[in-house]
Amino acid sequence: MDNFENHLAEDPLFGAALDTLAIRAGQTRSHEGEHSEALYLTSSYVFGSAQEAAERFSGAQEGNVYSRYTNPTVRMFEERIAALEGAEAAVGTSSGMAAILSTCIALLKSGDHILCSRSVFGTTTVLFTKFLQKFGVSTTFVNPTDYSAWEAGFTANTKLVFVETPSNPLCDVIDLQRLADLTHVHGALFVVDNCFCTPALQQPLKFGADLIIHSATKYIDGQGRCLGGVVAGAKQHVDEVLGFIRSAGPSMSPFNAWVFLKGLETLRLRMEAHSRNALALAQWLNAHPQVEKVFYAGLPTHMGHELAVKQQSAFGGVLSFRVKGGREEAWKVIDATRIMSLTANLGDTKTTIVHPATTTHGRLSPEQKAEAGITENLIRIAVGLEDIADLKADLARGLG
């Protein structure tokens, strides 16, 4: 990766706005002069001479060696993400989970402690408790909006604080600046999984985060095609993560990087449209007689509304709501839909609907579910870009 300071001085995009960066940042052109980003499907690279090969391998000369280490298409994606997050550097990974795993393995050691929001992606919880635990890294989970619980959770070995905001599925909003400050007082790194907002709506580095993680699989792709992830932040930390990826192999596929580059070009437009549709659906559900409660930070009655206004430029595409009744009534609404997809994925132009208590959060004990607010009558919707009237009609079928 280029030296950041030198790069800036001569970069025509220095100071450019997000919409420009999303379309232009990171692009390099080959001698063919292609206008769109080139897709370099190659696992290795040839050298001009034995001496050049030796220098590339030793690191004396910069350049490509093997696509587990670097690939020009992946590099374009990494530089574009770094520009959008306002980060010094970024590194792509094979999936969002690979980004989280690589960050933890690279930056933690046996005996270290992770302090993690209770409301994180289910597989993140499994990774931390079932697997990192085996290697002597322990994790404590905290109610994300209880700052005294965060404070009390730190130990002398806490090295990493991990959050998502807004949370899934209840859209709790975490005060990033406050938690960043607290984390730094304790000498730990503040890591934010920014998957739900993307840099189009929220840039956590501005609020003191040290590292950003994405599942590019979601909104960055935006059309449900490819798996990928990325870690962005200070070069010093990203280089550590890169070192692990090169050795262990969870590298991003160049084809996927190319799809993500195209996704980034329309990211802001899509995120604003997702947010607009989600807000309209949340307002409609909020006024529906068969709905008990709606969770969406765009509603002024939501606990996290003011904080979301401060941290985010829009409220995102995910909402959840409780129907009147229990599991039977919730399942009835889900099964009556004919347009929405019954799938746990999110971040797609296609709207998805899911019953968290029996799917994404199904492995939680009844006590954990109660504590996290995952009731049997809760439904989560990742609102897509279909016509809002059709989405309302789709839900109305089962709401009676």
Ligand X SMILES: *Cc1c(COP(=O)(O)O)cnc(C)c1O
β-pair type (318-323, 138-142): unpaired
Q: Which is nearer to ligand X, 381 or 399 (CB)?
A: 381
Whole-number minimum distance, CB 3 to ligand X, in Å?
30
Handedness of CA 229, 234, 240, 243 (dihedral sign): positive
Nearest to 317 by CA among 289, 285, 282: 282
Tokens of 246: 């090169």
**Amino acid at residue number 311:** Q
Amino acid letter for position 27: Q
| Residues making contact with ligand X (CB under 6 A) | 95-97, 121, 164, 193, 195, 215, 217-218, 227, 229
CA angle 295, 384, 370 (to 5 degrees): 30
**Smallest separation, CB 32 to ligand X (Å):** 32
Peptide bond into 166 cis (omega under 30): yes
Residue 59 Cβ vs ligand X, minimum distance, rounded to whole Å? 30
Task: Give the residue with the Cβ less far from ligand X, 145 or 194.
Answer: 194
Of the two residues 194 and 323, which places its CB atom closer to ligand X in the complex?
194
CA distance 276 to 264: 19
Minimum separation from the CB atom of position 47 to ligand X (A) = 34
- Least CB distance to ligand X at residue 202 (A): 13
CB of 86 or CB of 122, closer to ligand X = 122
At its nearest, how many Å lie between ligand X and the CB of residue 30? 29
Nearer to ligand X, 35 or 130 (CB): 130
> Is 209 in contact with 179 (CB distance < 8 Å)?
no
Measured from the CB atom, is 195 or 385 closer to ligand X?
Answer: 195
Instruction: Give which of 119, 316, 102, 338 is closest to 228, Cα–Cα.
Output: 102
User: DSSP readout, 39-72?
Assistant: ----SB---SSHHHHHHHHHTSS-S--BTTT--H
Cβ 178 to ligand X shortest distance, Å? 21
Nearest-5° Cα angle at 117, 236 to 99: 40
Cβ closest to ligand X, residue 215 vs residue 277: 215
